[in-house]
Structure 1
Amino acid sequence: MAVLKLHGGVLSTATMRAAACLYEKDLEFTFIPVDMSKGEHKNESFISLNPFGQVPAFQDGDLTLFESRAITKYICHAYAKKGPELIPAEPKKMGPVLVWIEVEALQFDSAASKLVWELVFKPMFGMTTDSAAVAELQEKLAKVLDIYEARLSNAKYLGGAEFSLADLHHLPSLQYLMSTPAKEVFSSRPHVAAWCAHIMARPAWAKVIAMQKR
């Protein structure tokens, strides 16, 4: 088997997303830290892996990929027989998973990632949180989570009966937001709250969090 390499930063939500997929599929990989505080993601050596100068980058032998959601989909197809089936092969099971993968990227993340920036990373970098932006983003996220609440009242996971990439892709933002006042937007919706607690308790996700502590 080709040596798998993940280049990224342990605090990066995109890096965390890719690492979670690798751990779920029980794949051995080498993690290569990229120190973004020193601008290593803009160095020529890293630009050769990701021309946009953003983490992560992923290597499977002579194949190099970037964009975390593309990386996770590749891993699921290339290593379909390893670990859980995070994208079902059966079309009628695959369909809902693909829909909710798109919902995460286009509906959830557009609010959640900006909230992470305002509530977590701005304070971390000594910047001032924009309270008006936070209020607007939480209102936007609440409307999305109302739809999640309805979906999760009829399904254990977003894509159906089994954990999938549709759930996994949410984990990095959830991890950060659950330690902020934005947690209330999730906890006030019982089915959403139960889903969050369930997916965040997965052993593979614990391994991603452990990467941050090393």
Structure 2
Amino acid sequence: MNTTATSTPSAGRKALPAQPITLYRSAISGHSHRVELFLSLLGLPFERVDIDLAAGAHKTPAFLAMNAFGQVPVIQDGEVTLADSNAILVYLTGRYAVDADQWLPGEPLAAAAVQRWLSVAAGQLAFGPAVARVIQLFKRPDSPDAAVARAHALFAVMEQQLGQSAFLTGSTPTLADIANYSYAAHAPEGNVSLQAYPRLRAWLARIEALPRFVPMVKTPIGLAV
């Protein structure tokens, strides 16, 4: 178990949880990292529990009782047990963020804009750069060509969007940015170059400059950038 206890007052927090939130994660999982990143950005105390995916720890009865799909991440916040990275982001926003309307706006059109990118994170991002990275990381025999092509198609759209605003839905970061950051930043590990996307790379740098940003571990595979 790795422990992080953050107690510095934060403008982005309603109140500390009664006890540290437990984050069941894999350090190399972008889905896990987006939750870890948001916990840190909100200044919330949490404990990391690393799940050994290679050993099948995510398929044990104890873990399946927390998430029947056998996937990380999962959080435990007091009596609340919650799976699915994007669902966890929504929960943490509503439960703990003072500036909740920044991260997940209440205005219908702005809310829809964020939801669109949450869907992208579960769709084009997951089946593009995330899959390309998994193929390289675990040396799978699958051809990466389709995933790499999907990644470049996605990044071309993001590059266009980021020519209109500093973040994916406007001038300030939202859950859209948190959900899409990790696998975009680590796309080169799946042999997806970011060289052709200067606006996307600048967006990554803006997220990395946020107070209490925490990086995801880099793996020694793929391209440099």
For the aligned pair, the TM-score class normalised by the smaller chain equals 0.7 to 0.9
TM (normalized to structure 2)? 0.78
| Residue in structure 2 matched with residue 66 of structure 1 by the alignment | 83
TM-score, with structure 1 as normaliser:
0.82
Partner of 1:187: helix, strand, or coil?
A: coil
In structure 2, distance between residues paired with 1:82 and 1:32: 28
Structure 1 or 2: more helix by fraction:
1
Per the alignment, residue 138 of structure 1 pairs with 148
1:15–1:56 contact (8 Å) kept in structure 2: yes
User: Structure 1 residue 147 and structure 2 residue 157: aligned?
Assistant: yes
1:41 counterpart residue number: 58
Corresponding residue number in structure 2 for 1:182: 192
Alpha-carbon separation, structure 2, partners of 1:57 and 1:105? 16
**Aligned letter for 1:2?**
A
Question: 1:16: which partner in 2?
Answer: 33
Task: Give unpaired runs (5+ residues) of structure 2.
Answer: 1-16, 219-225
* Superposition RMSD in Å: 2.4
Q: Which residue of 2 aligns with 1:193?
A: 201
Report if aligned partners of 1:152, 1:192 keep a CA contact under 8 Å in 2: yes
How far is 1:103 from its partner?
2.3
Task: Give the Cα separation in 2 of the matches to 1:175 and 1:129.
Answer: 24
2:114 to 97, 102, 106: 97
1:103-182 matched pairs, under 5 angstroms: 103-119=120-136, 121-122=137-138, 127-128=139-140, 130=142, 133-179=143-189, 181-182=191-192
Alpha-carbon separation, structure 2, partners of 1:83 and 1:31: 24
Deviation at 1:168, TM superposition (A): 0.9
Q: Secondary structure at the match of 1:188?
A: coil
In structure 2, C-alpha distance between the alignment counterparts of 1:70 and 1:158, rounded to whole Å: 19
> How many positions carry a matched residue from both structures?
201
Q: Which blocks of at least 5 consecutive residues in structure 1 are unaligned?
A: none
Which amino acid in structure 1 is aligned with residue 168 of structure 2?
Answer: L
Q: Is the 8 A contact 1:24 1:84 kept in 2?
A: no
Contact 2:30 2:216 in 1 (8 A): no
